[in-house]
Structures are given as structure tokens and as C-alpha cells.
A and B are shown apart, each in its own frame.
Chain A
Amino acid sequence: MAEEMKDFKEVNKGLSEENAVLEALRCMNCVIPHCVKGCPVGIDIPAFIQKVAEKDFEGAAAVIKADNMLPAICGRVCPQESQCEGECILAKKEKPVAIGALERYVADREREHGTKLPAVAEPTGKRVAVVGSGPAGLTAAAELARFGHKVTVFESLHEAGGVLTYGIPEFRLPKAIVKAEIEQVKALGVEVRLNHLVGRSVPVEELLGYDAVFLGTGAGLPYFMGMEGENLNGVYSANEFLTRVNLMHANCFPEFDTPVKRGCKVVVVGGGNVAMDAARVARRLGAAVTLVYRRREEDLPARAVEVKNAHEEGVEFLCCANPVRVVGETAVEGVECVRMEMCEVDASGRPKPTCIEGSEFTLEADVFIEAIGQGPNPLLVSMIPGLERERRGNLVVDEDGRTTVARVYAAGDAATGAATVIWAMGSAKKAAAAIDKALKEE
């Protein structure tokens, strides 16, 4: 494990061909495949797995790509345990079929052996603007391009991928793989315009001049706890910390120009996948890391495998505690926390944490990272007249992703609030189908 701590190489090395075939042979090829229902993009899982069992890897890739243009990414970051694998009939008896690992194997193998693009329909002459190049935007773009529409993606950063590029670290999702899958989407005829912030570089009137608009702007606005000392030097949002490292390669400073405070003692607050990512990145930058979470360890919303990896990499977990103040003169010197007790179960089925009065204690720290969640960035949506949002700032959409403005659709985190990559893709796929239907009816 010490070896992995030094670098950002991928932790999970993936299946060998032999193991992939053996694993595929475990699939029962159910008549009513519940696994497919568990997949938000509806991949024909038994069909691709049968092809793996027959060693027809090209065929397997074609089956997957009929429904999902980002399989190497999904195979790595989907929470399969609560989706396809959670529904697998074998999950009830022993272990579910490792669908995620097989999807990843097929995608990685195809990338190494030369990729084949799925068919693209005849051009329809319709133009669709996609705002944001994260999982939702890329999925919508790929689907719409395959339906024959001319798709332009607007991305404000200098690289495409959204959270796949700036959020999820290299050791979970190698950037070369993200780039390769984005190239596949572009090869379908999708134009990606980087460095274009819609609403600023592209006026809203210009955007609304397209035949349809898809908003996949995500939930990139970081929440801060709003406590004393939060603006001291060394306090980061997880978004900033991860962007500096993942997008700007601050781990390679000064070869790359962007710096990051590495810290000797880092405290991270939060319990989701973003918190795990931030903690594991901080470990790789050489710090002793404590993760503070207000509920119990069994309540952690992060994927079990991420929690396990974080433990193995030496992240200390301090559960039933919550920061109340950042201590320091000009820079962070410590984080004052309070212990929490679990009271009655709340509406979400989780225990409600309550501060234990007088239990304050201070953790020594020189870097403090807040990973308590993100909301939708309000900038663009505030500029489109008539676009309604619900209380938490998410866009109001119907089942097919229609917003309150005609011809404008939205999906992914912008519509649902921060969720998973695959949920964003699933909702984007539905919206793309609805856009296609609407455009063809015109």
C-alpha cells in the first residue's frame, strides 16, 4: 500500500482475459434480467456478457455501446452494488456477477485493440446546443449525434469531461481513459467548444437560436459550512482542492505551475465520494489525513469500496463529530470539532446527529477541506428568462427532462442535485430521446 501512496496510478488494475471469461460464465443469462432494470442507461447486460463468455470482445463492446458511449468510465465509477449488480439474481445467493469489472474489461480491451463507432443516422439538419461536457452533456451529445442531429457542446473549462476531469482523481479514473472516451463522442460528429462559458462567451439569445438546448451544467457550486475561520489560508472546498490536483496537476508542481497546499495534517469534513477522493488525494500529497463525519461509519454515503480503500491507505476516520470553527491567525492551525450523538431516525431513515454540549476538542491541522456537498451553479440559469428552479436551486424538469422553457431540456446534477455519474447519464439519455422525438415531429 505504501507504494500506491506515492503516486496517482490507478489502484484497481482490472481483470485479466482469463478471469473476465470465467466471470462471464457465471452469468445465468436470466429470462427476465433484473440487472438491466438496475442499469440507468439500460445496457443489455446478459447479451454483452454472453459475448465475453464466447470471447467475442468486439461484439461485447458493440452491445454496450448501443446504450452507453462511456463504458470504461462507468465500469470504474458506477456504484454497481446499488444498481446492476444489486439486482443480479446471484447477489441473493453468493456474489453477483462482476458486471462493472466486465464492462470495464470490454471497454479497455477495445480501446487497446482499436475502436469501432456505432452507426450514425442520416443528418436531420437540426442543430442542438449542449451546455456542459460532463457525463450528462457527453451522453446527450452522443445520443443526439447518433440520431443525426448536429451537436455543439459548450464547455467553460479548458478540458472536457466535467467532474470526470476535474473531480474524480486519476487513481480512480485515469484521465487518458476519459480523453479517449470523449474522442469517441467527438468522432460521432460532435463539436466541442472549450473555453466557452454560456451566458458570457455565448449570449443566451445565441444559445436559444438552436433547435433545442440541453443543459448539463452539473452541480459545481461548492457549499461552505459558514463557520468562523473559514477564509483562513489553507481552507479549501473539495472542488478547489480536487480541481487544482486533477485538472491543473498541482501534484506535479513546480513542473506544472498550479500550486496546492499539501499540508502535514489535513482534516477533511464530509462522508461522500468527494470527501473520500479529497482525503485520498491529500494522503498522496504526503499528509496525515483525518476525515471527520457527523454520523456513524455505517452511515457514510460514500461507496463501500472507496471507504475501504481510504482505510487501507491510512486515512483516519473520526465519526460522530463535526467541525464548528477553524482556528488560526492567518492560516489554519486547527479545526475545533464537537462530538455528535445519534438521536431518533429522521425522514431519510438515518439517525439525526445532535451536538453533545461541552464536548468540543481541537484537531491540529494545516489544511482543512470541506466536502459537504455542491449545488447547481446559478449563473447560467439566472440568465435564461422563464427557467424555473425548485427550492434547492435544481432546475424544474419533467420525466423527459423538459424545463419550464420551450425547447430547453436539462438533466444530470443540474436537474437532480449532486448524484452519480450514471444517474446523470441515464437522465441525459432520456432527455436526448425526448429532444429527438420533438425535433422529428416538427
Chain B
Amino acid sequence: MYQVEEATQLSENVYQIWVNAPQVARHARAGQFLIIRVDETGERIPLTISATKGDSVRVIYMAVGKTTELLATKKKGDVLADIVGPLGTPSEIKNYGTVVVIGGGVGIASTPIIAREAKEAGNHVIGIIGARNKDLLILEDEMEEVCDELFITTDDGSKGVHGFASTVLEDLLKERTIGCVWIVGPAIMMKVTSRVTIPYKVKTFVSLNPIMVDGTGMCGSCRVTVGGETKFACVDGPEFDAHQVDFDSLMQRQRMYVDEEKEAREHFHHHDHHGGCGCCGGKH
């Protein structure tokens, strides 16, 4: 069992949670993730490691379905059934000169840890964080602290640049020499934004978010096509060369269980008790 040490809401439907998980916190690096199972009947969901402090690890997530909505009810002192990690290959951090770290929406959660490690490796770090509107922006202070320069974008212009991160990125590429770019966000945002760097031939990493089960390379649920080859995002990634990724296949596979996800959510909101499938020994 893993104890929740802090749980707060950051914006509409976005929550952060600090959990005591020494085996994860002590070894986590930028770009890695963990898998959480909330309770005994729960599913395993991957979440990016957003920060660590001693034996605690932070994840930030959007409540979009059964499991994340259940997680959002957890308060300080509650326990989670399982946490395993850190999983995945760490970000390829080295001295690239100048790097740009871009976060979109809840994907911003992954950016401070990448920016911090990039800074420590001697890079000049430029952050771009974007959201639909100013209320959905998160971790602005943290990014401000760790980045040499920070740009903010909102789709509706309610704060910072009116528009997308790609616009700011394009301007930067025109003006300066950029060594490497990281983009973390929804698949469609990563697809569109990463196209901007193609003409400039700038190494661009994206953090893919396919469906996962074990997260250790034993099932292939998270398989993605990169450079024409099948890769398992949980062990070969989750970060890959954006220009090699088949985003359309990724997005198609992300939708595999939309009906079931809806059913699970409805079941969660309308049924507290269940009909005796026998699996839980009648505990519920």
C-alpha cells in the first residue's frame, strides 16, 4: 500500500497527488513514468513522473474517466493499492546548447523535470506551456523558476500569446539555433507541433501515451510504429523521435476502448454495489 501525502486540485479536472513510493522516487529520471492501481478491483494506468522529493513522487492527471475520477477522490492519508516504477527509458538529456521544452494542457506536468535536467546538463532552456485558456495552465511558477525563458500560450488569448505553442516554436526556430525540442501533450498536439521542426532538422522528442497494461514490455498493448518498426512505448520509449512516429496509428489505438471507458464511468457513477461475479470474494 502506498500512502497519499498530499492531494490538491490544480485546475478544472486537473489534480496533483504526492505519494510515498521510495522505490520509485529514489530512482526516477526525466521522461519516466509509473503505473498506479488505485484499489483491488482497479486497472493499471500509466502516469508520467512529474517531480520527486525524498521518498515521494508526484503525478499530475486529468480526471477523464473512472480511474482518474476515483483517484481524484483520494485525500492525504488515503492509500493506493499499487505503484510500480520508474518505468520507461529516461529522456536523452545531454548538452545540446539550447533546448525547447513544450507542454500542452496536462502534458505540462512532464516539463519541469525535463527542463531541470536539461538545465543541469548545461543547456539554455526555453519553456513553452500552452492550454486552452489561462485557468487550465499549470506549473507556471515551477517552469518560470527552472527555465531561462518561458513563453505562455492560450488558445483563446486569455493569457500570454494568443495561439498555439507551434507558433512560438516556429518563431524561435527562425531566430535562433535550437539543439533539441521536447513536446509533451495530447497526441494531436504533439503531431502538429512536431511538424514545425522538420524543415529545420532539429531533433524532436515526443512522449507517447498509448494504452498500457503491465508497463514492463510483456504484452505489447502499447506498441507504436516508429520509423516503420514496431516498438513498445513502455520499454523502448515513451519518448521517441517525433519525425519517425506514426501518430495516426497511435491515435486510432488510443480509441480502442472508448465504449468500455464510457461504460466503466457510468457504472462508477451509478452502481456502488455489484452483482456477484465472484472475483472479489463478495467483498463489495
Give the distance in Å from the alpha carbon of A435 to the alpha carbon of B148 in the complex.
54
Contacts of B43 in A (CB 8 A): 248, 256-259
Closest to A377 in B: B217
Contacts of A308 in B (CB 8 A): none
Give the distance in Å from the alpha carbon of A221 to the alpha carbon of B230 in the complex.
13
- Interface size of A by CB at 8 A reads 43
Known A-B contacts: A239-B220, A259-B43. Give 16 more (CB < 8 A).
A157-B216, A158-B82, A158-B84, A201-B23, A203-B27, A233-B253, A233-B255, A240-B221, A243-B219, A248-B213, A251-B277, A252-B277, A252-B279, A254-B267, A255-B279, A331-B256
Contacts of A232 in B (CB 8 A): 252
**Complex interface: stretch among A139-147, A191-199, A272-280, A355-363:** A191-199
Interface members, chain A 184-238 (any B CB < 8 Å): 194-197, 200-203, 220-222, 224, 226, 230-234, 237
Q: A222 is contacted by which of B32, B37, B219, B252 (Cβ under 8 Å)?
A: B219
Give the distance in Å from the alpha carbon of A157 to the alpha carbon of B82 in the complex.
9
Give the distance in Å from the alpha carbon of A157 to the alpha carbon of B255 in the complex.
25
Question: Is A197 a contact partner of B216 (Cβ separation < 8 A)?
Answer: yes
Give the distance in Å from the alpha carbon of A259 to the alpha carbon of B41 in the complex.
12
Closest to A196 in B: B23
Contacts of B83 in A (CB 8 A): 195
Give the distance in Å from the alpha carbon of A240 to the alpha carbon of B217 in the complex.
10
Looking at the assembled complex, report how far the CB atom of A280 sits from the nearest CB atom of chain B, in whole angstroms.
18
Question: Is A255 a contact partner of B284 (Cβ separation < 8 A)?
Answer: yes
Question: Is B23 a contact partner of A195 (Cβ separation < 8 A)?
Answer: yes
- Interface size of B by CB at 8 A reads 49
Question: Is B81 a contact partner of A158 (Cβ separation < 8 A)?
Answer: yes
* B275 part of interface (Cβ distance < 8 Å): yes
B8-47 near A? 1/0 per residue, CB < 8 Å = 0000000000000001100100001000010001111000
* B66 part of interface (Cβ distance < 8 Å): yes
A240-267 near B? 1/0 per residue, CB < 8 Å = 1001100011011111111101000000
30 cross-chain CB contacts under 8 A: A157-B216, A195-B82, A195-B83, A197-B216, A200-B32, A200-B85, A201-B23, A220-B218, A221-B218, A222-B219, A226-B230, A231-B223, A233-B253, A233-B255, A237-B220, A239-B220, A243-B218, A248-B43, A251-B279, A252-B278, A253-B264, A255-B280, A256-B279, A256-B280, A257-B41, A257-B67, A259-B257, A261-B256, A331-B256, A378-B217
Looking at the assembled complex, report how far the CB atom of B225 sits from the nearest CB atom of chain A, in whole angstroms.
6
Q: A256 is contacted by which of B41, B217, B221, B261 (Cβ under 8 Å)?
A: B41
Question: Is A231 a contact partner of B41 (Cβ separation < 8 A)?
Answer: no
Interface members, chain B 242-256 (any A CB < 8 Å): 249, 252-253, 255-256
* B171 part of interface (Cβ distance < 8 Å): no
